Amino acid sequence: MSYVIVFDTMCTGWQSAVDENDNPVVYATEAEAEAEIKDDFEELRSNQIEAGQEPDEEPDDFVVPLEDYIKGRKFIWTPSGCYIEGEV
């Protein structure tokens, strides 16, 4: 199984880093993707501390299996129920 690192935004839903062909960057294992998040987050915290900012407590990114990744995925609540929208 392959994995994608995702960040969620209120306006555009799930997003991931993309390669030169505009495809999501894919990791071979969940552990590899988690390690990438950890490394990036440690660098971010270091930069925040160096800049005198309050460092983030935890990363905003998370790992999902590639087969579950939907670009722009948003969970929409309506009076008649809820649904998921985005690009497969």
Tens of pLDDT along 19-37? 999 999 999 999 999 999 9
Going from the C-alpha of 27 to that of each of 6, 8, 49, 84, the distances in angstroms are 12, 18, 29, 25
> How far, in Å, CA of 24 to CA of 33, rounded?
12
Question: Which tokens is 75 given?
Answer: 């969970």
Number of domains in the chain: 1
pTM > 0.95: no
62: containing domain? 3-87
pLDDT confidence of residue 73:
87
Band the pLDDT of 50: cuts 50, 70, 90.
very high
pLDDT at 3 over 70: yes
Identify whether the C-beta of residue 24 lies closer than 8 Å to the C-beta of residue 18: yes
